[in-house]
Amino acid sequence: MRVLALILAFAGLLVNLTLFINLKPPGSFYFVMFQLAATALAPVLTGLGVLSVVLGVLSRARAAWSAGAVSAVISIVYMLMVTSSHNGFADAFGADWESKIAPSQAEHMLRGRWRPGLPQTREPVFEQDVVFWTIPGTERELLCDVWQPAEGVARSGLAVVYLHGSAWYMFDKDLGTRPMFQRLTDQGHVVMDVAYRLTPEVDIYGMVGDVKRAVAWMRDNADAYGVDPQRIVLAGGSAGGHLALLAAYTPDEVRLMPDELAGKDLSVHAVVSFYGPTDMRATYAHLAQERLIGMPKVDIGQPGAATMEKEFGDAGRMDMLLGGHLHEVPEIYDLASPLVHAGADSPPTLLIQGKPDIIAPYAATREMTEKLRANGVRVVNIVYPLTNHAFDLLLPEVSPAAQAALYELERFLAVVQ
């Protein structure tokens, strides 16, 4: 019993202590998995800490019950911090914001920011690998998955065009987002999960162009999916969050507009970013991208780029995405920064991220929030302390931060209607 108490206590404590360690790239990219485990498993670590206290007391192992108590306290305090209430929605939408949510929709929302497990949802209609665009002059097809409400579920008329996390380089649609999409469809929303092209197949121009193609497609097919074409919301995580913000804030920017979309209305009803970079200059410094100066240049758009085998070390290379390092093409870093484009014409915005974040510097997100507010844009900025990048993708059935983010997302989509 004494040995078990010591193992449980110190294992839990060591995992929890990783929350207070802030490493710099590239080491942080690997270490973050321990931090994500500590945040997602906070309820479990609380239980293990309490158990080790009990076992430690029974076996008279003072070190065990002391370490277990500290571990349990850290987890409990963390859970309280990320699930605490705030005034973000009242500040953005008025003190009566909750009265704007239809009771029929509120009935299927999360009741609180955390509970053990997620409530069961009605089975959505799922269409996989729908071709939504063919790149002009090529045979390259762009694919998406479409999630629709179950039969009998009242449709809200709102569509969410979602962009997965990728470091602008890897992964695909359907990346750990099914629990989120099932909840959104249960509230009557339609979700379009987009497989946009990545580097080195395309650079920032092709990538944001694909996002705008997705918006155009959903507008053109709104009737078929029971969607109001004026109520399309762009959303995404990480690089997808960055692209969602950039496309939402630049509907008429000719430098980021595919030729075939010229003249089309590409404005969106609102935009949601989960830990998406907002200032590419700040992100370049935050990621210590100068350490990559001198690495072999990777050409964009070469034959076979869409199916090439990729190296993890090339993920997040901003010189590949933007055509050079910051000192070489500073104007492109500005063009690709949502912060630069944020203004009075920007749609209502929800920004959710942790602090610290290994990819998206919080200070830049805060700066953009203040700029949007100064321009009269309704913006909600939610920050979870001691929470790192991609926190919403790991064990949402257990994770307090992931569930809290879902709680906020559900209410934002309901109140912007």
Distance (Å, rounded) from C-alpha 360 to C-alpha 248? Answer: 18
Edge-to-edge, what's the strand order for the sheet holding 125-134?
A: 125-134, 141-148, 190-195, 159-163, 232-237, 270-274, 349-355, 379-385
Q: What are phi and psi of 201, to 5 degrees?
A: -65, -40
Report the pLDDT value the prediction gives residue 303, as an integer from 0 to 100: 87
Residues of the chain below pLDDT 70 = none
Write out pLDDT tens, residues 372-404: 999 999 999 999 999 999 999 999 999 999 999
Distance (Å, rounded) from C-alpha 346 to C-alpha 343? Answer: 5
Neighbours of 223 (CB within 10 A): 9
Residue carrying structure tokens 């729908």: 130
Distance (Å, rounded) from C-alpha 242 to C-alpha 256? Answer: 14
Give strand ranges (E) for 75-198.
125-134, 141-148, 159-163, 190-195
How many percent of the chain have pLDDT more than 70?
100
The burial class, CB within 10 Å (0-12 / 13-18 / 19+), for 155 is: middle
Report the pLDDT value the prediction gives residue 152, as an integer from 0 to 100: 92
Report the pLDDT value the prediction gives residue 417, as an integer from 0 to 100: 73
Report the pLDDT value the prediction gives residue 212, as an integer from 0 to 100: 98
Report the pLDDT value the prediction gives residue 26, as an integer from 0 to 100: 79
Centroid of chain to Cα 24: 21
Structure-token pair, residue 66: 């002391």
Helix (H), strand (E) at residue 413:
helix 400-415
Distance (Å, rounded) from C-alpha 413 to C-alpha 124? Answer: 18
- The answer to whether the beta carbons of residues 86 and 383 sit under 8 Å apart is no
Torsion of CA 200, 203, 206, 210, to 10 degrees: 80
CATH architecture of 88-415: 3-Layer(aba) Sandwich (3.40)
| One-letter identity of residue 121 | T
Report the pLDDT value the prediction gives residue 2, as an integer from 0 to 100: 87
- The answer to whether the beta carbons of residues 8 and 52 sit under 8 Å apart is yes
Write out pLDDT tens, residues 5-45: 999 999 999 999 999 998 888 778 888 999 999 999 999 99
Q: For the chain, give every residue range classified as CATH 3.40.50.1820.
A: 88-415
Report the pLDDT value the prediction gives residue 36, as an integer from 0 to 100: 96
